[in-house]
Amino acid sequence: MLSLLPQLGVEDTAAIVAHLPRLKARLAHLTAAMPGMQHSIAIKTNPQISLLRTLVGWGYGLEAASIEEVRRAKTAGCCVDQIVFDSPVKTRLEIAEVAYERGMLVNVNTLDELERFPADATCVLGIRINPQVHAGSPDMFDVSKNESKFGVPISNQSELIRAALAYPVGALHIHSGSQMQNLEAQKEALVGLRDVALAINALAPGKIHTLDIGGGLPSEPLEGQTKMASYGAMVQEVFRGTSFKLVTEFGQWVHASAGFALTAIEYVIHPDRIFVHLGADFFMRDAYTTARPFPLAVISSRGEWRGGQQRPFDIAGPLCFAGDYLAHKKNLPGDLQESDYLVIDETGANTYALWSRHCSRTVPSYWAWDGNSIVKWAERQTIGF
């Protein structure tokens, strides 16, 4: 933090920072919890290109939700066989672009989509299954309801098996939803996935060789028995004795705490409101749904942490609509002042990725902290409509 402030230009009213030591620790924890699997990290959670290059450089794959993200993964240097392509609306042109990418896992969202692939495709063709379990994701992120637009319902087992046998399918995929709370329900989803694969292989030995179990764990501190460790043990238990290659697609769990942001406090309005330069543009999901409890601190422009007695403030963002608040009645040091910086921690997931162009405000510069020094990864970007 102290090395960042002197590097900010006069126009840098806000800055976004990747916390690489935390990122590394989280990935190490994921790999220890689920050893021997391919971890393709969800690009949509944080698509910053240097961040993707870092993940790839450390040996991780990337999960792409659009053809643009597939291209981004390649630009980041990701080997094709570590890329997973999951868009639910792949066009014929997009399918032509990936069909002969040997080893790329391409998951179809519906059985109709299978017909668009050439019979001699060399990508690994997977079918997304809706496991129809309720793993406790908030409504908006629960993709496993019976009427979900994602995947073929597992209750259509005979159709699934028929399709897997009729097309060059080698993989099956589930992603139950984000911020799953109920691991027992998720276990049911894993067992369902395994059993469909075994049923297909009983008819055509070796047909299904890859199972992609998606992502979906909420962020958590790396202390004590983590949910990730429990989930890893569960995954290993469910697939014990099988020889499937297992793939994961975590996003939020990996990235959320591996980043922070700071914004100048532009106005302090008596008695309890501050205006800052990051609002519903950076915290789009939070402003439009429920705000995550980001840890907050205040530092002066000279680099001194404010430690005055805490009192509640409303934190207003810069956009011109009434709902643009990062938080209401949040305790902050009472001695904060105009031109101080509000430091917002744990902003690494679903923030920069969702940047809203509302009001055409400039996207802040992006930085990386490696534990010793801070370097600029990207300049401020002007929005081009």
Ligand X SMILES: Cc1ncc(COP(=O)(O)O)c(C=O)c1O
Where does residue 301 rank: exposed (0-12), middle (13-18), buried (19+ CB within 10 A)?
middle
Q: 12 or 63: whose CB is closer to ligand X?
A: 63
Q: Does 63 bind ligand X (CB under 6 A)?
A: yes
Tell me, what DSSP letter sits at residue 372?
A: S
With a CB cutoff of 8 Å and minimum separation 6, the contacts of 319 are 279, 280, 281, 356, 358, 359, 361
Helix (H, G, I), strand (E, B) or coil at 366: strand
Closest approach, Cβ 2 to ligand X, in A, equals: 31
State in angstroms the smallest separation of the CB of 217 from ligand X.
6
Q: Which amino acid is at 232?
A: G
Give whichever of 28 and 269 is closer to ligand X, judged by the CB atom. 28
* Residue whose CB is less far from ligand X, 42 or 95: 42
Residue 45 makes contact with ligand X by CB under 6 A: yes
Token pair in block for residue 146: 């019976």
Among the listed residues 86, 113, 188, 324, the single contact to ligand X using CB under 6 A: 86
Is residue 253 at the binding interface for ligand X, with CB under 6 A as the rule?
yes
249 in contact with ligand X (CB under 6 A)? yes
Nearest approach, Cβ of residue 81 and ligand X (Å): 18
Give the span between the Cα atoms of 254 and 284, in whole angstroms.
20
Q: In 3D, which of 160, 124, 143, 132 has the Cα closest to residue 40?
A: 124
Tokens of 332: 């902050």
Q: How many CB atoms neighbour CB 271 within 10 A? A: 8
**Kind and range of the H or E element at 327?**
strand 325-333
Q: Based on CB atoms, which residue is closest to ligand X, 297 or 354?
A: 354
42 binds ligand X (CB under 6 A): yes
Task: Count residues binding ligand X (CB under 6 A).
Answer: 14
251 touches ligand X (CB under 6 A): yes
**The residue to which tokens 């490696």 are assigned:** 370
Choose the binding region for ligand X from 49-57, 67-75, 155-163, 248-256 (rule: CB under 6 A).
Answer: 248-256
Q: Is 142 in the site for ligand X (CB under 6 A)?
A: no
The nearer residue to ligand X, 151 or 333, going by C-beta atoms, is: 151
Q: Is 214 in the site for ligand X (CB under 6 A)?
A: yes
* Residue nearer to ligand X on the CB measure, 61 or 251: 251
Taking CB under 6 A as the criterion, the residue among 252, 257, 347, 365 binding ligand X is 252
Triad 272, 15, 286: Cα angle to 5°: 55
Among 60, 231, 244, 250, binds ligand X (CB under 6 A): 250
User: Encoding tokens for residue 338?
Assistant: 């105009």
Could you say which of 19, 22, 72, 175 contacts ligand X (CB under 6 A)?
175
Measured between alpha carbons, how far is 312 from 302 in angstroms, rounded to an integer? 24
For 153, the token pair is: 């319902």
Q: Which residues of the chain form contacts with ligand X (CB under 6 A)?
A: 42, 45, 63, 86, 175, 178, 214-216, 249-253
